[in-house]
Structures are given as C-alpha cells and as structure tokens.
Structure 1
Amino acid sequence: MPRRSGLGTVVGALALITAGGAAVAVSMAAVVAVVMARRVVTPVGARDEDLRILAVDLAAGEIVLESSPEADMAGRYGLWFEHESGHARLGDIRSHDGRVVRRDITGVDFGRLDRARRGRIDGWLHLGPWELSQPYRNVVVDTPLGPAPAWFVPADGDGERWVIQVHGRGAKRQEGLRAVAPAYDAGWNTLLVSYRNDGEAPDSADRRYGLGGTEWEDVIAAVRYAREQGATRIVLMGWSMGGAITLQAVLRSEEVREALVGVVLESPAIDWADILRFQGSAMGLPDQLGDVVTNVLSGPLAVGLTGLAAPIDLAALDVVARAEELEVPILLLHSEDDGFVPIDGSRRLAQARPDLVEFEVFEGARHTKLWNHDPERWTGLIGGWLERRSADRPGVDAEQADVVG
C-alpha cells in the first residue's frame, strides 16, 4: 500500500468525522488548512514514489509501469527510485493497454532498477551540465544570505547576452538544463542559479519558502553577478514557483529592470490563491478550503502555524493585478493538462497584457514537462524568441523594439 502523506491522513479523517458532526468537521477543516499551508511553504524533503513498477527487463531495455497520468506521458524522462538512491532514463512508450505501460529504458545511471518496485518520474533528463555538449563552469553568486552555487554555460559571441534560469519549488538547478541548448544556439550565455531554502543555497532563518515574496532578492544578486561579468542584455526564465520569483524580481527591482530585455515563464505560478484552490480540489476538498489556506498564510497567525518568519502577502504576489507595470516582452508556456498549477493564471496574464505576452499553450504535457512532451516545438519557441530579443535594448517593450529596430 502506498505511504499516505500527513495531509492525506487528515483528509481521510475529515471525511469520516464529517458524518459525525458539523462542528467537528469545521474544526478538522481548520486542521487540514493548517497542514496544507505548512506543506506549501516547507521545502520538499523525501518525495513520494507514486509510480508503481511492475517489471524490468534490462536486457530488452524495457520497463513495465502501472498506468497513471505520469506513466502515460509521451516523451523522455528521468526516473528516480529506491528513495532517490537510484536513477534511470526512460524513453518513449512501446505499448499501452489501459492498465500497464511499456517504455524504453535508455540508461541506468546508478542503483538497482531491477529490484525497484516504486519510483518517481522527473522532467530533468540531465543530471548536470556535464552531460551537455556545451562547456560550463561552476560559479558562486553572492546573495544576501551568503554564497550560492550556480552553473555558467558560455555561448559564442560577445558575452553580453545572458539568460538566468530560476528553478521551481522542490526542484534544483537541473530543471533549467533543458533550455541551455536553444539559448546557446541563439548566442545567449546561461546562468543556472540556486536560491534560499532549495537545498543548495544558504537557508533563511525560518527555512521556509516565501512563494516568491523573499526569494526574489537572490535573483537580484544573480542579475548583479551577470552584469559584473559583462552582461548588458538579460532574460530571466522562471519555472513554476521560479516564475513567481522571477516576476517579483522584475516588479520590485529597478536594478533588474535596467538590464532586462525579456522574461520566459514555463508552467508559472501566477496566482497562488488559484493554485491552492486547485490543489485542494484535486484532493477532494471543498474549493473554500483553498481560500482558508490563503488566509492562514497571509494572516497574523502564519508565523505560529506554519513556521514562517512573517506572513506572506499573497495579494502583493498577484502579478495580474500589477500587469500594467510590466514593460518587456514575455514568452509564456503552459499546458492545459498541467495537473499541478492551473493554466488559468497564465491565461489572465496573457489577456491583461496581449501587447507583451506571447502565450503558447501545450496539450498533453504535465507540469514543467513541456520540453519532454514536445521537445521540437518547445526548443523552437525558446530559441526563436531569444533570437528576436538579441537586438532589443533593456527596458524597451516589444512594440517599441519593432520601431527602434
């Protein structure tokens, strides 16, 4: 039987107690809201291995998985197993009968895949920049909390154009490696950064995520580093929560905007209230519970209930409400089938600023797995958009750039 999370246990209890009394159910709903709020802001430790492995034939290069939304995804993926002590690469689907999925095994990096019974699919196909064809360097960014490791992948050219990759919640720098090749081919250097509480950069005092409301300071430090190294045109690319972090850096820092020529958002967290409602509904909880979680995170009791150093002003993180402040072109990529961060927030941002936002909708891809699902389209969109930004001047929006050339 799969291991149940603390939240899943509380949800189950809530379902049973609801039949026994409305007052008790209300109390339990409050408990669920607090547990969910703590989970959102607490850095991810051990990840659930929710994929059931039915059989492995290494000689035939085949793995048999129980059908699930993750197992059924087209494309190439990483597979973590045995509590992340093992890692393999999965290729395309060989067959699918509605119950089981047979996929290619393209490699086993470490661990005994033949003994594994459960695993977790990841969109990171690459474990590090050493697996790419481009040279790279280990560098350090001096953040407000101390030195944070980063990877720098230089491109041919004058070295003035930089893409800074900001990974998502529970992820690490590897998440952005998929974007290195199109950036390199378009003549853009890539800096893949770490930030507070991600397991690589220094922790904050509370060791909690700020959902973009604190981490943006580390992105400013990355921009400062790039400019000290000669960057004059910078693109920020944020994945999932990294999208929220990126947008907060843009909105809050003149230093960032001085060198910024564009933003790329991959499956971004645009509206946290909407995300919390969506995730609660996916667990079978009432929509209203997501609003309660929002109030817990934003209210005066957030410090005591969640361990945060200060409440998170989620209203201030609503970038759609501040969309008129955005000034540079944005490439926005999201899948209808995200399954974790609903596409609605991205739609609202695109509708609020159609003059700046190029909105590309994918179908059939899951959260931050658009490249895995359709690498040709994804790579073409990133590379083509970066090529169009190569001559842009910082602070000049798309319409102005067409005029000034």
Structure 2
Amino acid sequence: MSTTSLTPALPAAGGFAPGLLPPLLPAPSPAPQAPERSIAGSRRKHAALAVLSALAAMVLFSALAFHGYVAWVIAHPYVPALYSNPQTAQGLAYSDVSFPSKSGRTTVHGWYIPAAAGAGADAPSVRTVVFSHGYGANREETWVPMYELAALLNRLHYNVFMFDYGYASSGVRSPATGGMEESQQLLAAVSYARSQGADEVVVWGFSMGAGTALQAALQTDATDRIDAMLLDSLFLPSSDSLFNNVRQYMNLPKYPSLPIIEWMLPFFTGVNFNQLPVDRVMETTYDMPLFIMHGSADAIASVDTAKHVAAGQFNSLSREWIVEGGQHEMLFRTRPKEYIQRAALFLSQVDTARKSAATAAA
C-alpha cells in the first residue's frame, strides 16, 4: 500500500513549484504629494522669470537696434541733391568731370571752373584751388558759401575745382569713412587739377573737409602734391569728437553708447576709428604752409585742436586766425570782409613764394 506524503515537494532551483505564487515584495510607499499652493507658486515664479527674460531681451535688442541706426546714420548722412551749378549761381563756365579715387574704390564727381581771363592774364592759369567740403554737405555747402568763394577766386585768376565726397556723391554714394577713403578722393582731385596744367594747387577745406585735407597731405606724391592749405573750422574724427557731435542731436550717455557705436561703425563703413591717423595729423609738422581759421565758440570742433595743430607748424607762411565768438563754419558770414582779405593775402604770399622758388631754380 502506497503512502502519500503530506509535505509538498520543494521547487526546482531557480523556479517555483507549479501552482504556487512567487514571494510578494512589499508595495512601494506612494510619493508625497506637494501641496497645491506650492505648485501654483512655482508656476507663477517660472512665468515671471520668463516674462522678465523676454523683456530684458527686448530691451537689449532695442538698444542695439537704436545704436545700430545711429551708426548707420553716421556712415550715411543725409545730404540734399545739388540744387544749382556755377553757371546758374554765379555765371561761371564749368565742366562736369568724373574720375576714380586714388584707391580706385570710389568715383569722384565734380565741376572744373577755369580761371577768368583778364587784363594781362590771357594765358590759362596755372593756379588751382580745390574745395574740400564738410561732413553732411556736398560741393555747394551753402552756409560757407562755396559759390561766392568760387567767383572770388575766379576773378583772382584761379581755377577752381568743386567736388563731392563719396557720401554726398551725385553718382553712386559710398559710406563716410572719417577721411580714410575721402583722402583718396581728395588726392585724385588734386591730381586732376595738376593734369589740367596747374603748377600750384591749394586745398581749401571746411570742417571734416579740413581734417581730410590734413590726412591727404600725409600721403601725397609728385602727381598729387599739395602746395598750401586753408583750413576753416578744422574737425578731426576722434572718439570724443564723434560723441560730441552725436550729443548735438540726441542726449545719449557716453557709456555704453560710445563704445557700442564705435563697435558698430565698421559694419557700415569698413573702417575702425583706430585706423584713422588722427594722432599723426595732430603731431605732424607739414612742409606746406597752413592757414588755420577757427572760431572760439565752435561747439562742434574744439578750438584747442586747431591751436595744437597750428602750434606745430614752422613754415614761415603758416598762420592761425582765432575768431572771437566765431561758430563752426560761420567765420565767413561773421567777418566776410576780413575773411576774404586774410584768405587773399595768404594765397598771394603762397603764389609769390612759388614764383620766387621757380626763379631761383631757373
């Protein structure tokens, strides 16, 4: 008789006996639930941070966009179209001319006005004055005014060349570069004057056009030699002068506005302010005579700059004229008779010196 064991058989290793459940693990404890108020507060905090971040980004973008616009306007100043010409304005015969700048990167457009023939002066003139207009103006620069000076020089038997810098060009306009490319345009204008038979070329510069003339004079050679310069309201493009001029139109803090504008300008001009030879201009003793004219009340270009440059000149014909109470580029209008007398005397002395040198060399 078989005996049935009441003790169940042990499961095989690694398995469970048929019909038996595996040992149950203790159930995990439920995670503690955060109070509803804490969750809502956390969400509000994250939303507030997101809004603040968005506002900060918008403010930063707006500030950069605004300063970028200022930099663009500096590089592309508004200049009105030409409204007249030498024939219409003063009855002066002229020729429209154009040629590449010395660098070849831009084109110069201008008017060449031959000297008037007078008693004892029937031969073509060998003396030419090249006008170098200021920033924000074109060759007409009415507040100087150019046409009246051109007529005066024409009667004194000077040829006159009036032209536009690239940012004021009557053709394709190019950005203002603080004198970097403008000096190449001026040197091309001087070279053109010499190609027309000029033995004596004088540059008459106004404001930044005067500063550009000094930059150009650092780079002359035999084909674009400058014999003398008249510099009215001398302006040199530096960080301080840039900010001072911006402040004439809008009340911006110097920091961080100035560093931002300086950083952005190369994107529009291709020129960094550190590339401009302002320090070299300030410390150079030029071979040719300079007549520096400046107003003591000039709010755009510091009279100290004019005095510093004048103090470094040792040519016997160089001189300075500080007009008490004179304002930027308003010296002609303030003292018209004295302005003309002083300018004519300087030109006469330069011409006499040239003739004496030619006689001595013969």
State TM-score, norm by structure 1.
0.61
More helix by share: 2
- Show the counterpart of 1:130: 87
Query: How many Å separate the matches in 1 of 2:295 and 2:256?
Result: 25
Query: How many Å separate the matches in 2 of 1:275 and 1:130?
Result: 37
- Deviations 1:61-81, CA, capped at 9 Å, x for gaps: xxxxxxxxxxxxxxxxxxxxx
SS of alignment partner, residue 168 of structure 2: coil
With over 3 angstroms needed to count, the CA separation of the structure-2 counterparts of 1:224 and 1:321, relative to structure 1, is same
- Deviations 1:340-374, CA, capped at 9 Å, x for gaps: 33323212211232546411112344322221222
Mark the runs of 5 or more structure 1 residues left unpaired by the alignment.
1-21, 47-83, 85-123
State TM-score, norm by structure 2.
0.68
Contact 1:271 1:318 in 2 (8 A): no
Counterpart among 212, 217, 220 of residue 187 in structure 2:
220
Between 191-200 and 126-135, the greater mean CA deviation after superposition? 126-135
With over 3 angstroms needed to count, the CA separation of the structure-2 counterparts of 1:36 and 1:352, relative to structure 1, is farther
Alignment of 1:250-261 (within 5 A): 250-255=217-222, 258=225, 260-261=226-227
Query: How many Å separate the matches in 1 of 2:340 and 2:293?
Result: 12
- Deviations 1:163-220, CA, capped at 9 Å, x for gaps: 01111112111123232244234432211112323131433xxx31111110122222
Pairwise CA distance, 1:272: 2.6
Counterpart among 154, 172, 179 of residue 202 in structure 1:
172
- Show the counterpart of 1:292: 259
Pairwise CA distance, 1:253: 2.4
Pairwise CA distance, 1:376: 0.7
Mark the runs of 5 or more structure 2 residues left unpaired by the alignment.
1-55
More strand by share: 1
- Show the counterpart of 1:335: 295
Alignment of 1:293-332 (within 5 A): 295-296=262-263, 302-303=266-267, 307-324=268-285, 326-332=286-292
Work out which of the two has the higher radius of gyration on C-alpha atoms and give 1 or 2.
Answer: 2
Same amino acid, percent of matched pairs: 21
Contact 1:163 1:234 in 2 (8 A): yes
Query: How many Å separate the matches in 2 of 1:229 and 1:390?
Result: 18
1:367 and 2:328 are equivalent in the alignment? yes
Residue-pair matches, total: 291
Contact 1:277 1:288 in 2 (8 A): no
1:346 and 2:290 are equivalent in the alignment? no
Between 165-174 and 337-346, the greater mean CA deviation after superposition? 337-346
Pairwise CA distance, 1:252: 1.6
Amino acid at match of 1:194: D
Contact 1:265 1:332 in 2 (8 A): yes
Amino acid at match of 1:351: A
- CA RMSD for the aligned pairs? 3.6
- Show the counterpart of 1:141: 98
- Show the counterpart of 1:264: 230
With over 3 angstroms needed to count, the CA separation of the structure-2 counterparts of 1:38 and 1:151, relative to structure 1, is same
Contact 2:70 2:261 in 1 (8 A): no
1:379 and 2:336 are equivalent in the alignment? no
Amino acid at match of 1:369: M
With over 3 angstroms needed to count, the CA separation of the structure-2 counterparts of 1:171 and 1:292, relative to structure 1, is same
Counterpart among 59, 78, 84 of residue 44 in structure 1:
78
- Show the counterpart of 1:193: 163
Alignment of 1:13-162 (within 5 A): 33-44=67-78, 127-130=84-87, 135-143=92-100, 144=104, 145-146=106-107, 148-156=109-117, 157=121, 158-162=124-128
Amino acid at match of 2:236: I
Query: How many Å separate the matches in 1 of 2:86 and 2:300?
Result: 27
Pairwise CA distance, 1:380: 1.0
Pairwise CA distance, 1:23: 12
- Deviations 1:302-326, CA, capped at 9 Å, x for gaps: 22xxx223434454244544413x2
1:173 and 2:139 are equivalent in the alignment? yes
With over 3 angstroms needed to count, the CA separation of the structure-2 counterparts of 1:271 and 1:147, relative to structure 1, is closer
